[in-house]
Structure 1
Amino acid sequence: MDINALKDFHLIASCGGIGAASRASGKPKATLSRRLAELEEAVGVRLIERGGHRLHVTEAGERLLLRTAGPIQEIDEAALSARENAAKPAGWLRVTAPLLFSQLALGRLLAEFRLRYPDIRVETLSENRLADLVDEQFDVAIRINPPVNSALVGRCFARDRLVLVAVPALERPIGSAESPPAIPAVVMSTFSEGETWRVLKGQRCFAPQPVMRLSSLLTVRDAVMAGAGAAMLPQSIVSRQLETGELVSWGEADTLTELWVLHTSRRLQSPKVKVFVKFICEHYSAGWFFT
């Protein structure tokens, strides 16, 4: 199977026709038409139905597109890597990151990164949805406890603990696993009714009764500091308040929150992605986000 014919088939399908593909790529329509015919001959099935103002990809064509999109991307990345291999890291680096990490650390982190790599310019998008790195053309994603995704690879660069906190004036009941006491709680909007907060390796349990549902962890922290109730929060955003005594810990949860830096290629990274991944892992060499 000719790789150029396969790549031109992807081009024609994405553009919706040979004419549009020709205008987008600058390739002659005759060349694109010939390569499409050669590919159909090679696989033995019709891949695109011709007729009307727009071509229609057949079911067999859709299957071929789906199965070959990844390998073609790998080939393109290999060629790009070969060209960039001798060059120093440069150009725009597009990063998507969750809102809390951006608010707490990203600005200072990227400023330090730019001092080390002044030829790299950085653009970020800070929001909690999972952006599509390929479709939205991001180089790197920073994610919290990312789901397993065969299309993304990377490294865990830091961890954070969850701590049940409250102001000193809020009376802490004796929490038991058999009969968790109800406590006034400030929770995120994603809180599920019936949840139990377990700390100290499950030795203490509490039944949170929401008095506030909020959409930001920093807003939850501020409400807790004002005495609204207890909350389960990352240690990274309450460590200072615990040190000063503004908040007290009722115990740490067993689970850890992991922060990952992810990119799309299994084997290849552009120089700018490679140095960013190395930089962020070295920056958090202790392994904890709150140190």
Structure 2
Amino acid sequence: MDRLAALTAFAAVAEAGSFAAAARRLGRSTSRLSRQVAELEAALGIRLLHRTTRALTLTEAGRSYHEQVARILAELEAADLSVGRLQAAPRGRLRVAAPMSFGVLHLAPALPAFLERYPEIDLDMAMNDRFVDLVEEGFDLAVRIGRLAESSLIARRLAPLRRVLCASPAFLAAYGTPRTPDDLARLPCLGYSNLSPQEDWSFVDPASGRPWPVRIKARLRVNNGDALRLAALAGVGLAPLPSFLVGPDLAAGTLVSLLDPYLRQEGAIHAVYPPARPLSPKVRAFVDFLAERFGPRPYWEPPSFES
């Protein structure tokens, strides 16, 4: 048994969720991948996959083994890169998925500089707020905002994500400034309808660190951050929004940040991509470019925010 080929086959099947999808990714036959995984299971003396006519899932042992195998294969790739075997010029078509608001505001202005730096890359970017399956839909990578769900994807942090509860000065003049999260229960709020439950906002007690949930009255719910920003600017209500969306408004004073000590700052802006071996130079180039452009102190953060 070719152990490395078997490990590569198992990792590909685990990440793709089917032998057929893994075979397409590796350019091997489905029967060959099935035989290699079966040989690996026989050598280990354990079952790594549950196989049925409808689904293919990892066993508990398979999940644990896959985590270790993915790390080993990634280290092998890094070793190859370190000796220059895979330092080919980035080229080819790069398919990227990105959320709409962040994509329009911050990715789109960056694309001309990226394409100028890498003239042999053709970029195909899909901007929407739908969660995409990178493997099944054929994307090379995605930019994702917030906390990452557990998955086999490789994640590279591009920038911090700072959430801000904000309102217009006119709104605060009319309704008063909230001093604690409990004050929000009496104020008109703006809800992001992609979150659930829609009427509960989560804060944290800065003294004890305990969660401080608040049931709010959402006068308006929208599944788009740009629409919530416009409503907040118009004085319709209070809105929790990311600083990459409202940083200039906060700097200009057209929006005011509220209850900062009570906000739980979780997650970040990441690039995620399947753990392919070897990692494509075009994917590495794009991820490095975005990390360089945004960084730990992104340009959209207002000067009043601490590092």
Q: TM-score normalised to the size of structure 1?
A: 0.69
SS at structure 1 position matched to 2:150: coil
Offset, 1:245: 2.4
CA distance in 1, matches of 2:58, 2:191: 45
Aligned position for 1:273: 283
SS at structure 1 position matched to 2:241: strand
Aligned position for 2:295: 285
Deviations 1:10-59 (A, max 9, x none): 9xx967xxxxx9xx99x9xxxx89x97xx89x97xxxxxxxxxxxxx879
Aligned position for 2:47: none
Aligned position for 1:136: 137
Pairing 1:188–2:192 present? yes
CA distance in 2, matches of 1:62, 1:173: 51
Retained in 2: the 8 A contact 1:221–1:231? Answer: yes
Aligned position for 1:91: 92
Offset, 1:273: 1.1
Q: Name the CA shift for 1:172/1:88 in 2 (closer, same or farther; >3 Å).
A: same
What is the identity percentage for the equivalent residue pairs of Structure 1 and Structure 2?
28
Pairing 1:223–2:202 present? no
> Could you tell me which amino acid in structure 1 is paired with residue 197 of structure 2?
S
Retained in 2: the 8 A contact 1:165–1:230? Answer: yes
Segment of structure 1 superposing worse, 108-117 or 201-210 = 201-210
Offset, 1:115: 0.9
After TM superposition, list the pairs within 5 Å mapping 1:1-291 onto structure 2. 1=1, 85-170=86-171, 171-176=175-180, 181-189=185-193, 190=195, 192-196=197-201, 198=203, 201=206, 208-252=216-260, 253-265=263-275, 268-288=278-298, 290-291=300-301
Retained in 1: the 8 A contact 2:167–2:237? Answer: yes
> Could you tell me which amino acid in structure 1 is paired with residue 111 of structure 2?
L
Retained in 1: the 8 A contact 2:189–2:217? Answer: yes
The structure that is helix-richer by fraction is: 2
Deviations 1:98-125 (A, max 9, x none): 1121121111122211111111111011
Q: Which runs of 5+ in 1 are unaligned?
A: 16-20, 44-56
Moved over 6 A (4+): 5-8, 61-64, 66-72, 81-84, 202-206
Q: Name the CA shift for 1:107/1:231 in 2 (closer, same or farther; >3 Å).
A: same
Q: Name the CA shift for 1:268/1:146 in 2 (closer, same or farther; >3 Å).
A: farther
> Could you tell me which amino acid in structure 2 is paired with residue 195 of structure 1?
D
Offset, 1:174: 4.1
Offset, 1:142: 0.8
Query: How many correspondences in the alignment?
Result: 260
